[in-house]
Structure 1
Amino acid sequence: MDNIRETIKEVIMSIVPITIIITILQFTLIWLPMETFLQFLIGAFMVGLGLILFLLGVNVGLQPVGELIGSALSKTKKVWMIVLFGFILGVVVTIAEPDVRVLGTQVDSVSGGSIPQSILILSVALGVGIFVALAMLRIILNINIVYLLIVGYTIAFILALFTPATFVPISFDSGGVTTGPLTVPFILALGVGVATVIRGKSSSSDGFGLVALASIGPIISVLLLGVIYG
Protein backbone atom coordinates (compact mmCIF):
# COMPACT_ATOMS: atom_id res chain seq x y z
CA MET A 1 0.00 0.00 0.00
CA ASP A 2 2.86 2.37 0.82
CA ASN A 3 4.38 1.58 -2.58
CA ILE A 4 1.17 2.60 -4.34
CA ARG A 5 0.92 5.80 -2.32
CA GLU A 6 4.53 6.77 -3.04
CA THR A 7 4.16 6.02 -6.75
CA ILE A 8 1.01 8.17 -7.04
CA LYS A 9 2.79 11.00 -5.21
CA GLU A 10 5.81 10.80 -7.54
CA VAL A 11 3.65 10.88 -10.66
CA ILE A 12 1.57 13.80 -9.39
CA MET A 13 4.75 15.75 -8.59
CA SER A 14 5.95 15.04 -12.15
CA ILE A 15 2.77 15.84 -14.07
CA VAL A 16 1.16 18.68 -12.10
CA PRO A 17 3.92 21.34 -12.49
CA ILE A 18 4.00 21.19 -16.30
CA THR A 19 0.19 21.09 -16.39
CA ILE A 20 0.02 24.25 -14.27
CA ILE A 21 2.64 26.06 -16.40
CA ILE A 22 0.87 25.23 -19.67
CA THR A 23 -2.46 26.28 -18.14
CA ILE A 24 -0.97 29.65 -17.13
CA LEU A 25 0.51 30.12 -20.61
CA GLN A 26 -2.81 29.16 -22.18
CA PHE A 27 -4.65 32.01 -20.49
CA THR A 28 -1.86 34.60 -20.71
CA LEU A 29 0.16 34.14 -23.91
CA ILE A 30 -0.56 31.27 -26.28
CA TRP A 31 -4.38 31.05 -26.25
CA LEU A 32 -4.66 27.67 -27.93
CA PRO A 33 -8.08 26.62 -29.26
CA MET A 34 -10.13 25.41 -26.31
CA GLU A 35 -10.58 22.02 -27.93
CA THR A 36 -6.81 21.58 -28.14
CA PHE A 37 -6.35 22.70 -24.54
CA LEU A 38 -8.99 20.24 -23.32
CA GLN A 39 -7.25 17.50 -25.28
CA PHE A 40 -4.05 18.43 -23.46
CA LEU A 41 -5.76 18.15 -20.05
CA ILE A 42 -7.27 14.78 -20.94
CA GLY A 43 -3.89 13.64 -22.26
CA ALA A 44 -2.14 14.76 -19.06
CA PHE A 45 -4.64 12.78 -16.98
CA MET A 46 -4.16 9.68 -19.15
CA VAL A 47 -0.36 10.02 -19.01
CA GLY A 48 -0.51 10.29 -15.20
CA LEU A 49 -2.73 7.23 -14.90
CA GLY A 50 -0.54 5.29 -17.32
CA LEU A 51 2.65 6.25 -15.46
CA ILE A 52 1.19 5.13 -12.14
CA LEU A 53 0.33 1.70 -13.56
CA PHE A 54 3.64 1.51 -15.43
CA LEU A 55 5.81 2.37 -12.42
CA LEU A 56 3.86 -0.01 -10.19
CA GLY A 57 4.52 -2.74 -12.73
CA VAL A 58 8.23 -1.90 -12.79
CA ASN A 59 8.55 -1.87 -9.00
CA VAL A 60 6.45 -4.96 -8.40
CA GLY A 61 7.61 -7.09 -11.33
CA LEU A 62 10.61 -5.95 -13.37
CA GLN A 63 13.08 -4.95 -10.65
CA PRO A 64 12.73 -8.09 -8.49
CA VAL A 65 12.77 -10.36 -11.55
CA GLY A 66 15.86 -8.61 -12.96
CA GLU A 67 17.77 -9.09 -9.72
CA LEU A 68 16.67 -12.73 -9.40
CA ILE A 69 17.72 -13.45 -13.00
CA GLY A 70 21.12 -11.89 -12.35
CA SER A 71 21.57 -13.97 -9.19
CA ALA A 72 20.44 -17.18 -10.90
CA LEU A 73 22.77 -16.66 -13.86
CA SER A 74 25.73 -16.00 -11.56
CA LYS A 75 25.11 -19.21 -9.61
CA THR A 76 25.61 -21.23 -12.82
CA LYS A 77 29.29 -20.11 -12.76
CA LYS A 78 29.21 -20.07 -16.57
CA VAL A 79 30.65 -16.82 -17.91
CA TRP A 80 29.39 -17.39 -21.45
CA MET A 81 25.83 -17.85 -20.19
CA ILE A 82 25.90 -14.66 -18.11
CA VAL A 83 27.30 -12.65 -21.03
CA LEU A 84 24.91 -14.20 -23.58
CA PHE A 85 21.79 -13.58 -21.53
CA GLY A 86 23.02 -10.10 -20.67
CA PHE A 87 23.13 -9.42 -24.42
CA ILE A 88 19.70 -10.97 -25.07
CA LEU A 89 18.00 -9.18 -22.18
CA GLY A 90 19.62 -5.87 -23.16
CA VAL A 91 18.25 -6.19 -26.71
CA VAL A 92 14.75 -7.29 -25.66
CA VAL A 93 14.30 -4.63 -22.97
CA THR A 94 15.49 -1.88 -25.32
CA ILE A 95 13.05 -2.93 -28.05
CA ALA A 96 10.27 -2.63 -25.47
CA GLU A 97 11.50 0.79 -24.24
CA PRO A 98 8.87 3.48 -25.04
CA ASP A 99 11.49 6.26 -25.36
CA VAL A 100 13.30 4.34 -28.11
CA ARG A 101 10.10 3.92 -30.09
CA VAL A 102 9.30 7.63 -29.79
CA LEU A 103 12.77 8.53 -31.08
CA GLY A 104 12.44 6.01 -33.92
CA THR A 105 9.11 7.48 -34.98
CA GLN A 106 10.43 11.04 -34.90
CA VAL A 107 13.59 10.19 -36.88
CA ASP A 108 11.57 8.22 -39.43
CA SER A 109 9.22 11.20 -39.86
CA VAL A 110 11.92 13.88 -40.07
CA SER A 111 14.11 11.86 -42.45
CA GLY A 112 11.19 11.14 -44.74
CA GLY A 113 11.62 7.41 -44.24
CA SER A 114 15.28 7.35 -45.28
CA ILE A 115 16.12 6.11 -41.76
CA PRO A 116 13.37 3.55 -41.07
CA GLN A 117 12.06 3.27 -37.53
CA SER A 118 12.67 -0.49 -37.42
CA ILE A 119 16.32 -0.13 -38.47
CA LEU A 120 17.02 2.55 -35.88
CA ILE A 121 15.34 0.58 -33.06
CA LEU A 122 17.24 -2.58 -34.01
CA SER A 123 20.55 -0.69 -34.12
CA VAL A 124 19.94 0.88 -30.71
CA ALA A 125 18.87 -2.48 -29.24
CA LEU A 126 21.95 -4.28 -30.56
CA GLY A 127 24.20 -1.53 -29.22
CA VAL A 128 22.64 -1.80 -25.76
CA GLY A 129 22.79 -5.59 -25.84
CA ILE A 130 26.49 -5.67 -26.72
CA PHE A 131 27.44 -3.19 -24.01
CA VAL A 132 25.27 -4.86 -21.37
CA ALA A 133 27.15 -8.07 -22.21
CA LEU A 134 30.43 -6.15 -21.77
CA ALA A 135 29.12 -4.78 -18.47
CA MET A 136 28.43 -8.34 -17.27
CA LEU A 137 31.99 -9.25 -18.25
CA ARG A 138 33.27 -6.18 -16.39
CA ILE A 139 31.55 -7.33 -13.19
CA ILE A 140 32.91 -10.86 -13.53
CA LEU A 141 36.49 -9.81 -14.32
CA ASN A 142 36.41 -6.77 -11.99
CA ILE A 143 37.49 -4.34 -14.73
CA ASN A 144 37.57 -0.65 -13.86
CA ILE A 145 34.57 0.99 -15.53
CA VAL A 146 36.60 4.13 -16.29
CA TYR A 147 38.70 2.24 -18.84
CA LEU A 148 35.63 0.95 -20.66
CA LEU A 149 34.06 4.42 -20.72
CA ILE A 150 37.24 5.98 -22.11
CA VAL A 151 37.57 3.34 -24.84
CA GLY A 152 33.87 3.48 -25.69
CA TYR A 153 33.69 7.25 -26.08
CA THR A 154 37.01 7.33 -27.93
CA ILE A 155 35.54 4.93 -30.51
CA ALA A 156 32.38 7.07 -30.69
CA PHE A 157 34.29 10.31 -31.31
CA ILE A 158 36.47 8.68 -33.96
CA LEU A 159 33.38 7.30 -35.74
CA ALA A 160 31.78 10.75 -35.58
CA LEU A 161 34.55 12.02 -37.88
CA PHE A 162 33.48 9.60 -40.62
CA THR A 163 29.71 9.81 -40.16
CA PRO A 164 27.34 12.23 -41.94
CA ALA A 165 26.61 15.21 -39.70
CA THR A 166 22.90 14.35 -39.43
CA PHE A 167 23.67 11.05 -37.71
CA VAL A 168 25.81 12.50 -34.93
CA PRO A 169 23.02 14.18 -32.91
CA ILE A 170 20.70 11.21 -33.56
CA SER A 171 23.33 8.84 -32.17
CA PHE A 172 23.75 10.77 -28.93
CA ASP A 173 19.98 11.09 -28.54
CA SER A 174 19.81 7.32 -29.02
CA GLY A 175 22.18 6.93 -26.10
CA GLY A 176 19.95 9.14 -24.01
CA VAL A 177 16.70 7.30 -24.67
CA THR A 178 18.15 4.05 -23.33
CA THR A 179 17.98 5.62 -19.86
CA GLY A 180 14.20 5.22 -19.94
CA PRO A 181 11.81 3.94 -17.25
CA LEU A 182 11.85 0.35 -18.55
CA THR A 183 15.52 -0.20 -19.37
CA VAL A 184 17.11 1.43 -16.31
CA PRO A 185 15.42 -0.48 -13.47
CA PHE A 186 15.71 -3.86 -15.19
CA ILE A 187 19.34 -3.50 -16.31
CA LEU A 188 20.45 -2.08 -12.95
CA ALA A 189 18.66 -4.86 -11.07
CA LEU A 190 20.31 -7.43 -13.34
CA GLY A 191 23.76 -6.00 -12.64
CA VAL A 192 23.19 -5.79 -8.88
CA GLY A 193 22.01 -9.41 -8.87
CA VAL A 194 25.13 -10.59 -10.70
CA ALA A 195 27.51 -8.51 -8.54
CA THR A 196 25.86 -9.62 -5.28
CA VAL A 197 26.35 -13.31 -6.03
CA ILE A 198 29.84 -13.03 -7.54
CA ARG A 199 31.48 -10.76 -4.97
CA GLY A 200 28.98 -10.59 -2.13
CA LYS A 201 26.67 -7.96 -0.72
CA SER A 202 29.51 -5.54 0.03
CA SER A 203 30.32 -5.31 -3.69
CA SER A 204 26.76 -5.12 -4.99
CA SER A 205 27.43 -1.48 -5.92
CA ASP A 206 29.58 -2.86 -8.76
CA GLY A 207 26.30 -3.61 -10.49
CA PHE A 208 25.88 0.11 -11.02
CA GLY A 209 27.43 1.74 -14.06
CA LEU A 210 25.58 -0.56 -16.45
CA VAL A 211 23.41 2.29 -17.70
CA ALA A 212 26.50 4.42 -18.38
CA LEU A 213 27.98 1.60 -20.45
CA ALA A 214 24.66 0.70 -22.09
CA SER A 215 24.20 4.27 -23.30
CA ILE A 216 27.49 4.11 -25.24
CA GLY A 217 26.29 1.14 -27.31
CA PRO A 218 23.52 2.98 -29.19
CA ILE A 219 25.84 5.92 -29.89
CA ILE A 220 28.39 3.67 -31.57
CA SER A 221 25.80 1.54 -33.40
CA VAL A 222 23.94 4.55 -34.83
CA LEU A 223 27.24 6.15 -35.86
CA LEU A 224 28.11 2.90 -37.67
CA LEU A 225 24.67 3.05 -39.26
CA GLY A 226 25.56 6.55 -40.46
CA VAL A 227 28.80 5.27 -41.97
CA ILE A 228 26.84 2.58 -43.84
CA TYR A 229 24.09 4.93 -45.01
CA GLY A 230 26.60 7.66 -45.79
Structure 2
Amino acid sequence: MITILTDLLWTFLSVVRDVLPIAAVLLLFQLVILRKPIPHPKKVAVGMFYVLLGLALFLSGLEIALFPLGREMAAQLTDPAFLGIEPGAAVEWLDYYWVYIFAFAIGFATTIAEPSLIAVALKAQEASGGGVKANGLRIAVAFGVAISLAVGTFRIVTGTPLYQYMIVGYVIVVIQTLMAPRMIIPLAYDSGGVTTSTVTVPLVAALGLGLASTVPGRSPLLDGFGLIALASLFPMITVMGYAQISNWLSRRRADKDSQGENHEV
Protein backbone atom coordinates (compact mmCIF):
# COMPACT_ATOMS: atom_id res chain seq x y z
CA MET A 1 0.00 0.00 0.00
CA ILE A 2 2.82 2.39 0.91
CA THR A 3 4.55 1.60 -2.39
CA ILE A 4 1.38 2.40 -4.34
CA LEU A 5 0.96 5.73 -2.52
CA THR A 6 4.61 6.61 -3.08
CA ASP A 7 4.35 5.81 -6.80
CA LEU A 8 1.13 7.87 -6.99
CA LEU A 9 2.89 10.84 -5.34
CA TRP A 10 5.79 10.69 -7.80
CA THR A 11 3.35 10.37 -10.69
CA PHE A 12 1.43 13.39 -9.41
CA LEU A 13 4.63 15.45 -9.24
CA SER A 14 5.54 14.35 -12.78
CA VAL A 15 2.10 15.40 -14.01
CA VAL A 16 2.48 18.80 -12.31
CA ARG A 17 5.83 19.26 -14.06
CA ASP A 18 4.33 18.33 -17.44
CA VAL A 19 1.25 20.54 -17.05
CA LEU A 20 3.16 23.62 -15.85
CA PRO A 21 4.13 24.76 -19.41
CA ILE A 22 0.46 24.60 -20.47
CA ALA A 23 -0.60 26.65 -17.44
CA ALA A 24 2.21 29.15 -18.10
CA VAL A 25 1.07 29.70 -21.70
CA LEU A 26 -2.56 30.20 -20.63
CA LEU A 27 -1.59 32.64 -17.89
CA LEU A 28 0.75 34.53 -20.23
CA PHE A 29 -1.94 35.10 -22.85
CA GLN A 30 -4.66 35.86 -20.30
CA LEU A 31 -2.68 38.33 -18.17
CA VAL A 32 -0.07 39.78 -20.56
CA ILE A 33 -1.56 39.57 -24.08
CA LEU A 34 -5.28 39.93 -23.35
CA ARG A 35 -4.64 41.92 -20.12
CA LYS A 36 -7.71 40.60 -18.39
CA PRO A 37 -8.04 38.94 -14.98
CA ILE A 38 -8.72 35.23 -14.71
CA PRO A 39 -12.48 34.68 -14.34
CA HIS A 40 -13.46 32.68 -11.23
CA PRO A 41 -9.87 32.01 -10.07
CA LYS A 42 -10.96 29.72 -7.20
CA LYS A 43 -12.94 27.49 -9.55
CA VAL A 44 -10.05 27.43 -12.01
CA ALA A 45 -7.62 26.43 -9.26
CA VAL A 46 -9.91 23.66 -7.99
CA GLY A 47 -10.51 22.43 -11.55
CA MET A 48 -6.76 22.41 -12.25
CA PHE A 49 -6.17 20.34 -9.11
CA TYR A 50 -8.85 17.85 -10.24
CA VAL A 51 -7.17 17.61 -13.63
CA LEU A 52 -3.76 16.95 -12.10
CA LEU A 53 -5.12 14.38 -9.65
CA GLY A 54 -7.18 12.66 -12.36
CA LEU A 55 -4.20 12.41 -14.69
CA ALA A 56 -2.02 11.02 -11.89
CA LEU A 57 -4.63 8.40 -10.97
CA PHE A 58 -5.11 7.51 -14.63
CA LEU A 59 -1.40 7.03 -15.30
CA SER A 60 -0.98 5.02 -12.11
CA GLY A 61 -3.94 2.85 -13.10
CA LEU A 62 -2.31 2.16 -16.46
CA GLU A 63 0.87 0.93 -14.82
CA ILE A 64 -0.89 -1.10 -12.15
CA ALA A 65 -3.72 -2.65 -14.17
CA LEU A 66 -4.05 -2.06 -17.92
CA PHE A 67 -0.47 -2.65 -19.08
CA PRO A 68 -0.03 -5.86 -17.04
CA LEU A 69 -3.48 -7.04 -18.12
CA GLY A 70 -2.66 -6.55 -21.80
CA ARG A 71 0.63 -8.41 -21.45
CA GLU A 72 -1.03 -11.23 -19.49
CA MET A 73 -3.83 -11.65 -22.05
CA ALA A 74 -1.30 -11.81 -24.90
CA ALA A 75 0.79 -14.37 -23.01
CA GLN A 76 -2.22 -16.57 -22.26
CA LEU A 77 -3.59 -16.43 -25.81
CA THR A 78 -0.23 -17.46 -27.28
CA ASP A 79 0.52 -20.18 -24.74
CA PRO A 80 1.14 -23.50 -26.56
CA ALA A 81 -1.02 -25.26 -23.97
CA PHE A 82 -3.94 -22.98 -24.82
CA LEU A 83 -3.33 -23.37 -28.55
CA GLY A 84 -3.25 -27.16 -28.18
CA ILE A 85 0.26 -27.41 -29.64
CA GLU A 86 3.08 -29.58 -28.38
CA PRO A 87 6.01 -27.58 -26.92
CA GLY A 88 8.66 -27.02 -29.57
CA ALA A 89 6.29 -27.77 -32.46
CA ALA A 90 6.02 -25.36 -35.38
CA VAL A 91 3.23 -22.80 -35.03
CA GLU A 92 1.33 -21.45 -38.05
CA TRP A 93 -0.36 -18.07 -38.20
CA LEU A 94 -3.78 -19.75 -38.26
CA ASP A 95 -3.08 -21.22 -34.83
CA TYR A 96 -3.35 -17.72 -33.34
CA TYR A 97 -6.96 -17.18 -34.42
CA TRP A 98 -8.05 -16.41 -30.84
CA VAL A 99 -5.52 -13.55 -30.81
CA TYR A 100 -7.16 -12.01 -33.88
CA ILE A 101 -10.64 -12.45 -32.40
CA PHE A 102 -9.56 -10.90 -29.08
CA ALA A 103 -7.85 -7.98 -30.86
CA PHE A 104 -10.98 -7.33 -32.93
CA ALA A 105 -13.25 -7.46 -29.87
CA ILE A 106 -11.06 -5.31 -27.63
CA GLY A 107 -10.55 -2.76 -30.42
CA PHE A 108 -14.29 -2.40 -30.96
CA ALA A 109 -15.12 -2.24 -27.24
CA THR A 110 -12.44 0.28 -26.25
CA THR A 111 -13.24 2.59 -29.18
CA ILE A 112 -16.96 2.62 -28.42
CA ALA A 113 -16.06 3.75 -24.88
CA GLU A 114 -13.51 6.35 -26.06
CA PRO A 115 -14.52 9.75 -24.55
CA SER A 116 -12.92 11.78 -27.35
CA LEU A 117 -14.84 9.84 -30.00
CA ILE A 118 -18.13 10.35 -28.14
CA ALA A 119 -17.47 14.10 -28.02
CA VAL A 120 -16.57 14.31 -31.73
CA ALA A 121 -19.58 12.19 -32.73
CA LEU A 122 -22.01 14.36 -30.77
CA LYS A 123 -20.52 17.57 -32.21
CA ALA A 124 -20.64 16.12 -35.73
CA GLN A 125 -24.32 15.26 -35.32
CA GLU A 126 -25.02 18.74 -33.98
CA ALA A 127 -23.07 20.54 -36.71
CA SER A 128 -24.64 18.48 -39.50
CA GLY A 129 -28.18 18.99 -38.22
CA GLY A 130 -28.62 15.25 -37.80
CA GLY A 131 -27.15 14.39 -41.20
CA VAL A 132 -24.36 12.48 -39.46
CA LYS A 133 -25.67 10.15 -36.77
CA ALA A 134 -23.52 9.99 -33.63
CA ASN A 135 -24.06 6.28 -33.06
CA GLY A 136 -23.44 5.43 -36.70
CA LEU A 137 -20.16 7.35 -36.66
CA ARG A 138 -19.04 5.70 -33.43
CA ILE A 139 -19.80 2.22 -34.77
CA ALA A 140 -17.99 2.95 -38.05
CA VAL A 141 -14.88 4.18 -36.22
CA ALA A 142 -14.99 1.28 -33.74
CA PHE A 143 -15.30 -1.19 -36.61
CA GLY A 144 -12.25 0.38 -38.27
CA VAL A 145 -10.17 0.13 -35.10
CA ALA A 146 -11.30 -3.48 -34.60
CA ILE A 147 -10.17 -4.40 -38.12
CA SER A 148 -6.90 -2.54 -37.66
CA LEU A 149 -6.03 -4.45 -34.48
CA ALA A 150 -6.90 -7.78 -36.06
CA VAL A 151 -4.70 -6.92 -39.05
CA GLY A 152 -1.99 -5.53 -36.74
CA THR A 153 -1.82 -8.68 -34.63
CA PHE A 154 -1.66 -10.73 -37.83
CA ARG A 155 1.29 -8.55 -38.89
CA ILE A 156 3.07 -9.20 -35.59
CA VAL A 157 2.47 -12.96 -35.79
CA THR A 158 3.68 -13.22 -39.39
CA GLY A 159 6.46 -10.64 -39.05
CA THR A 160 5.54 -8.79 -42.25
CA PRO A 161 6.73 -5.17 -42.58
CA LEU A 162 4.42 -2.42 -41.35
CA TYR A 163 5.02 -0.14 -44.34
CA GLN A 164 3.26 -2.55 -46.71
CA TYR A 165 0.01 -2.24 -44.76
CA MET A 166 0.38 1.52 -44.45
CA ILE A 167 0.99 2.04 -48.17
CA VAL A 168 -1.98 -0.09 -49.21
CA GLY A 169 -4.18 1.57 -46.59
CA TYR A 170 -3.35 5.13 -47.63
CA VAL A 171 -3.83 4.27 -51.31
CA ILE A 172 -7.36 3.16 -50.37
CA VAL A 173 -7.84 6.38 -48.38
CA VAL A 174 -6.76 8.55 -51.33
CA ILE A 175 -9.13 6.72 -53.69
CA GLN A 176 -12.00 7.03 -51.22
CA THR A 177 -11.24 10.73 -50.73
CA LEU A 178 -11.86 11.27 -54.44
CA MET A 179 -15.16 9.39 -54.35
CA ALA A 180 -16.68 9.97 -50.88
CA PRO A 181 -19.19 12.79 -50.10
CA ARG A 182 -17.30 16.00 -49.40
CA MET A 183 -19.07 16.53 -46.09
CA ILE A 184 -17.65 13.36 -44.54
CA ILE A 185 -14.00 13.64 -45.66
CA PRO A 186 -12.70 16.04 -42.95
CA LEU A 187 -14.68 14.15 -40.31
CA ALA A 188 -13.23 10.84 -41.50
CA TYR A 189 -9.69 12.20 -41.26
CA ASP A 190 -10.35 13.51 -37.74
CA SER A 191 -11.88 10.17 -36.78
CA GLY A 192 -8.50 8.57 -37.33
CA GLY A 193 -7.01 10.90 -34.73
CA VAL A 194 -9.60 10.56 -31.98
CA THR A 195 -8.89 6.84 -31.70
CA THR A 196 -5.41 7.53 -30.32
CA SER A 197 -6.64 8.71 -26.95
CA THR A 198 -6.95 7.80 -23.30
CA VAL A 199 -8.80 4.47 -23.40
CA THR A 200 -7.63 2.93 -26.67
CA VAL A 201 -3.89 3.63 -26.70
CA PRO A 202 -2.89 1.97 -23.37
CA LEU A 203 -4.59 -1.33 -24.18
CA VAL A 204 -3.41 -1.31 -27.79
CA ALA A 205 0.19 -0.62 -26.78
CA ALA A 206 0.08 -3.28 -24.07
CA LEU A 207 -1.41 -5.82 -26.47
CA GLY A 208 1.22 -5.17 -29.15
CA LEU A 209 4.18 -5.31 -26.76
CA GLY A 210 2.82 -8.36 -24.97
CA LEU A 211 2.17 -10.21 -28.21
CA ALA A 212 5.60 -9.41 -29.64
CA SER A 213 7.18 -10.61 -26.38
CA THR A 214 5.43 -13.99 -26.45
CA VAL A 215 5.41 -14.90 -30.16
CA PRO A 216 8.68 -16.74 -30.98
CA GLY A 217 11.09 -14.75 -33.15
CA ARG A 218 9.44 -11.37 -32.58
CA SER A 219 11.06 -8.29 -31.03
CA PRO A 220 8.96 -5.97 -28.82
CA LEU A 221 10.90 -2.98 -30.19
CA LEU A 222 10.72 -3.91 -33.89
CA ASP A 223 7.35 -5.67 -33.99
CA GLY A 224 5.47 -4.51 -30.86
CA PHE A 225 4.76 -1.00 -32.11
CA GLY A 226 2.70 0.01 -35.13
CA LEU A 227 -0.75 -1.02 -33.92
CA ILE A 228 -1.61 2.58 -33.06
CA ALA A 229 -0.61 3.71 -36.57
CA LEU A 230 -2.99 1.15 -38.06
CA ALA A 231 -5.68 2.17 -35.54
CA SER A 232 -5.44 5.71 -36.92
CA LEU A 233 -5.59 4.58 -40.55
CA PHE A 234 -8.46 2.12 -40.77
CA PRO A 235 -11.16 4.36 -39.19
CA MET A 236 -10.71 6.80 -42.09
CA ILE A 237 -11.48 3.94 -44.47
CA THR A 238 -14.53 2.71 -42.55
CA VAL A 239 -16.01 6.18 -41.95
CA MET A 240 -15.77 7.13 -45.61
CA GLY A 241 -17.05 3.67 -46.53
CA TYR A 242 -19.98 4.18 -44.15
CA ALA A 243 -20.80 7.49 -45.83
CA GLN A 244 -20.46 6.00 -49.32
CA ILE A 245 -22.75 3.07 -48.48
CA SER A 246 -25.30 5.40 -46.87
CA ASN A 247 -25.18 7.68 -49.90
CA TRP A 248 -25.64 4.73 -52.26
CA LEU A 249 -28.60 3.39 -50.27
CA SER A 250 -30.23 6.84 -50.26
CA ARG A 251 -29.86 7.14 -54.05
CA ARG A 252 -31.24 3.63 -54.48
CA ARG A 253 -34.30 4.42 -52.37
CA ALA A 254 -34.82 7.66 -54.28
CA ASP A 255 -34.63 5.78 -57.60
CA LYS A 256 -37.17 3.21 -56.40
CA ASP A 257 -39.52 5.97 -55.25
CA SER A 258 -39.25 7.79 -58.57
CA GLN A 259 -39.87 4.56 -60.51
CA GLY A 260 -42.92 3.86 -58.36
CA GLU A 261 -44.30 7.31 -59.08
CA ASN A 262 -43.74 6.80 -62.82
CA HIS A 263 -45.63 3.48 -62.74
CA GLU A 264 -48.55 5.13 -60.97
CA VAL A 265 -48.67 7.83 -63.61
TM-score, normalised via structure 1 length: 0.89
Is 1:173 matched with 2:190?
A: yes
Match of 1:11 in 2: 15
Deviation at 1:39, TM superposition (A): 4.2
Partner of 1:90: 107
Which amino acid in structure 1 is aligned with residue 220 of structure 2? S
Relative to the length of structure 2, the TM-score reads: 0.78
8 Å contact from structure 1 (residues 58, 182) kept in 2 = no
Aligned twin of 2:28: 24
2:58 aligned partner:
54
Q: Does the 8 Å contact 1:174/1:219 carry over to 2? A: yes
- Tell me, yes or no, if structure 1 residue 129 matches structure 2 residue 132: no
Structure 2 residue corresponding to 1:208, chosen from 215, 225, 247: 225
Q: Quick one: percent identity of the two aligned structures?
A: 35
In 2, distance between residues paired with 1:95 and 1:14? 29
Match of 1:139 among 145, 148, 156: 156
Aligned residues of 1:66 and 1:193 also touching (Cα < 8 A): yes
Larger relative contact order, structure 1 or 2 (CA cutoff 8 Å, min sep 6): 1
RMSD of equivalent CA atoms: 2.0
Deviations 1:131-176 (A, max 9, x none): 1001111111221111111111111111111112221121121111
Q: 2-side partners of 1:97 and 1:44: how far apart?
A: 22
The CA deviation string for residues 39-63 of structure 1, in whole angstroms up to 9 with x for no partner, is: 4443332222221111111111101
Question: Contact conserved, 2:111 with 2:145, CA < 8 A, in 1?
Answer: yes
Q: Is this contact kept in 2: 1:70–1:193, CA < 8 A?
A: yes
Q: Which aligned runs of 4 or more in structure 1 are off by greater than 3 angstroms?
A: 37-42
Q: Give me the whole-angstrom Cα distance separating, in 2, the residues matched to 1:40 and 1:113.
A: 34
User: 1:110-129 CA deviation, whole Å, 9 max, x = no partner?
Assistant: 22232122221111111000
Gaps of 5+ in 2: 84-94, 248-265
More helix by percentage: 1
- Paired residue for 2:39? 34
The alignment status of 1:43 with 2:60, answered yes or no, reads no
Change (3 A) 1:126 1:143: same
Residue aligned with 2:78, SS: helix
Inter-partner Cα distance in structure 1 for 2:17 and 2:245: 44
1:50-129 alignment runs, 5 A limit: 50-75=54-79, 76-77=82-83, 78-129=95-146
**1:217 paired residue number:** 234
| Distance in structure 2 (CA, Å) of the matches to 1:226 and 1:31 | 45
| Gap regions ≥5 residues in structure 1 | none
The partner residue of 1:164 within 181, 186, 190 is 181
Change in Cα spacing, 1:158 to 1:113, as seen in structure 2 (3 Å) is same
SS in 2 for 1:34: coil
CA deviation after TM superposition for structure 1 residue 184, in Å: 1.4
